[in-house]
Structure 1
Amino acid sequence: MKDLKQCRQEIDEIDEQMMALFERRMKVAKDVVTYKMAHHMEIFQSEREAQVIQNNVSRIQSEDLHSYAKLFLTSMMNISKSYQTTFLPHPQTLTYALPKVNNITVGFQGVPGSFSQKALDTYFDKQTQRQQYTHFKDVFEALKRDEIDYGIVPLENSSTGAINDNYDAIRDYGFYIVGEQSLSVSQHLLGIKGAKLEDIQEVYSHPQGLLQTSLFLEKHHIQPHEYENTAMAAKYVSTLQNPHIGAIASSQAAQLYDLDILQDNIQNIQNNATRFIIFGKQLEVVEDASCISIVFTLPHQVGALYQVMKIIYDYAINMLRIESRPLLETPWEYYFYVDLEGSLKDVAMIQALEDMKAHTKTMRVLGNYVKK
């Protein structure tokens, strides 16, 4: 049996050889990316990487080391790609537009009294023109047709989570997030004049409104029914004039549609809040923008997400949130939405994003904006 001193000496000798080979390999990796750029070739080729790993693993004689060899080679490939990105001719900053200020029209889903309208009123000034639509998708379609300059939709609630359709729409339409407005949301049980809490047997509201008040509804044995919007539900209940049917909506909706608040603040969590995003057709960056949103897909291989997270860690970037959504066309694969703290005017941030691109199948910047 070898003694410890001899083992350490052998490891030091092997490490010395490995470092020389590592440096040699990185120089060749630089030559590869230089050649590919000169000949307008695809820089990163996942099929080639997989082939290199497989060929080299097959050279390992000890089968019990195959899995470790694969990890070693994958890590070396990732290091090589990160090094190669430093030679890519990436822009120091991205091209972006200035925000529109005068004579703008903003679209929202619902009717007056909706939480979307309240978020719009909070974010924009009184001179902003408002345009209402029945469905969330209608707001995106309106921007696509240039009927509006911006749209505003809810993206996430603090108690019930993400509103997935709007996540997908931002990606599918190719729009950009230009702002965010967080809004405290208080849900109230509304009924027609003269109705009482014990009279209510059914309620109408947006699915999020029903989810946010599920405990109250279960306690009072009230049957929930989904409606397009909380304020639209209030308007509908007002037309029914049925003392046994109520709505879950805002106090403003109660005033607008001549309803009584039968029970206030019935949400499951009292500090209930919703994030609304403002989106447009162009990437806009203002001086105090502090949140960057990106969406990416990953190669279907071990450690793919870890590598992106490692880049975020290595560049000392604060990750604010991460959300995954399934790729409908590919079972068990996902889009990842990530919010990062920072600015696109920061050269180090641009380099970090370029590094991430080298380790993802697709990646797109969704916006750089102020969170309010």
Structure 2
Amino acid sequence: MNLAEIRRRIDKVDRELLVLLQERMGLAIRAKKFKRAVVDTQREETVLARAERMHLDLVQGSFARQVLRTIIEESRRLQQEDRPLVAFQGESGAYGEVACRRLVPGGAFIPCMEFVDVFEGVRQGHLDLGVVPVENSLEGAVTQVNDLLTTTDLHVIGEARVAVNHCLLAAEPLDAEDIRVVYSHPQALAQCQRFLLQHRMEARPYYDTAGAAKMLARENPRAAAAIASELCAELYDLHVVARGIADGATNSTRFLLLDRAPFQGQGNKTSIIFATAHEAGRLFNVLRLFAEAQINLTRIASMPLRSDPGNYSFFLDFEGGMHDAHVARVFEQLAGMGIVVKCLGSYPADPNGQ
């Protein structure tokens, strides 16, 4: 092993330490929801004493205690900031976090394994807000999220449409010709197929785009790269080999911001869910009411009812808020038709597009 290889391994360990430190800080912020006070001296002393008892050959107990004390002090500072905890599905750096940063600047962004973890965390009050994708311009509706929206008591209080700009990331400064293997989510790999074929790169599926970037930072496999967001490059100290490598130029995902309470204001966009009997003309009669009231529909989607597969739930987004008189009249007419409507919320529309 030469000096260059030793330094390469040191860089790898440093990146891994910082990634783990980010995870620890996130857990520390979440712990505040379950504590009566920020400072818990008994718990802190237990953690510090355990570090001193570890007989590591090259790390003295006093040094381990000093390092952990510094980490605990920083955790305490973060808890005292009282930032809102904003949950998203995926690893840090996922496009869900990009949406979080747009919707809640200054929040503490908490990664969750599954969409249901986002919904349940907000519902139970362990997390303050949730950000979930509802539709993608190429892939269509996000079925699991739409299913959860039908049963949730949470309210939609905002939206953001995020451009999906796939980047090729590497742990070291490399040219595209030096890369042999590329890791990412299967959908991202499929969306960048032309670029991969052109550069003769082997595509290897991974569970998440940001997860692939995180793995690259921690393991630094040779001649390897990941396809992920540019935010991942910032979070994991990765090099951007190429930007905008997707086959299609227009790829975006619309995200919704969820809260336990409705939006406190007069939103100019509304999301609803309703169901109709599986009869000819029933859906047309509902949509006709919106057309006659000159209400612009921005989204129509359907999904089979789990309780009754022969019938469907319909997801409708439209311009205007529940406080608008012409919108209220439409809802009165729907009630007269026996249509049960679930209003997810009225909220500010994303000015960057529908």
1:291 maps onto 2:262 in alignment: no
- Which residue of the partner structure matches residue 101 of structure 2? 121
- Of residues 104-113 and 341-350 in structure 1, the stretch that sits farther from structure 2 once superposed is 104-113
- Which residue of the partner structure matches residue 363 of structure 1? 341
> Which secondary structure does the structure 2 equivalent of 1:292 belong to?
strand
| d(CA) in 1 for partners of 2:315, 2:193 | 28
| d(CA) in 1 for partners of 2:301, 2:193 | 24
| d(CA) in 1 for partners of 2:170, 2:146 | 33
- Which residue of the partner structure matches residue 278 of structure 1? 257
Deviation at 1:142, TM superposition (A): 0.7
2:285 aligns with one of 307, 310, 320: 307
CA gap of 1:221–1:310, structure 2 versus 1, over 3 A, is farther
1:338 maps onto 2:316 in alignment: yes
Deviation at 1:279, TM superposition (A): 0.7
- Of residues 346-355 and 199-208 in structure 1, the stretch that sits farther from structure 2 once superposed is 199-208
CA gap of 1:268–1:156, structure 2 versus 1, over 3 A, is farther
After TM superposition, the score normalised by the length of structure 2 is 0.68
1:107 maps onto 2:107 in alignment: no
CA gap of 1:366–1:228, structure 2 versus 1, over 3 A, is farther
The equivalences for 1:60-79 within 5 A come to none
Deviation at 1:145, TM superposition (A): 1.8
- Which residue of the partner structure matches residue 220 of structure 2? 241
The amino acid across from 1:291 in the alignment is K
1:325 aligns with one of 270, 283, 303: 303
- Which residue of the partner structure matches residue 354 of structure 1? 332
CA gap of 1:162–1:302, structure 2 versus 1, over 3 A, is same
> Which secondary structure does the structure 1 equivalent of 2:330 belong to?
helix
CA gap of 1:285–1:256, structure 2 versus 1, over 3 A, is closer
Deviation at 1:278, TM superposition (A): 0.1
Deviation at 1:322, TM superposition (A): 0.4
CA contact (8 A) 1:307 1:359 kept: no
In structure 2, runs of 5+ residues without a counterpart are 1-81
Runs of 4+ off more than 6 Å:
none
In structure 1, runs of 5+ residues without a counterpart are 1-101
CA contact (8 A) 2:183 2:212 kept: yes
Query: Which structure has the bigger radius of gyration?
Result: 1
CA gap of 1:212–1:171, structure 2 versus 1, over 3 A, is farther
| d(CA) in 1 for partners of 2:234, 2:83 | 29
- Which residue of the partner structure matches residue 9 of structure 2? none
| d(CA) in 2 for partners of 1:255, 1:150 | 24
- Which residue of the partner structure matches residue 146 of structure 2? 167
The amino acid across from 1:239 in the alignment is R
CA gap of 1:280–1:334, structure 2 versus 1, over 3 A, is same
CA gap of 1:342–1:122, structure 2 versus 1, over 3 A, is same
How high is the sequence identity, in percent, across the aligned residues? 32
CA gap of 1:351–1:208, structure 2 versus 1, over 3 A, is farther
The equivalences for 1:161-200 within 5 A come to 161-200=140-179
CA gap of 1:193–1:308, structure 2 versus 1, over 3 A, is same
> Which secondary structure does the structure 1 equivalent of 2:255 belong to?
strand
CA gap of 1:295–1:218, structure 2 versus 1, over 3 A, is farther
CA contact (8 A) 1:293 1:338 kept: yes
CA contact (8 A) 2:278 2:310 kept: no
| d(CA) in 2 for partners of 1:183, 1:295 | 23
Deviation at 1:182, TM superposition (A): 1.7
CA gap of 1:172–1:216, structure 2 versus 1, over 3 A, is farther
CA gap of 1:129–1:189, structure 2 versus 1, over 3 A, is closer
CA gap of 1:226–1:182, structure 2 versus 1, over 3 A, is same
| d(CA) in 2 for partners of 1:303, 1:221 | 53
- Per-residue displacement from partner, 1:64-85 (whole Å, max 9, x unpaired)? xxxxxxxxxxxxxxxxxxxxxx
Deviation at 1:220, TM superposition (A): 4.8
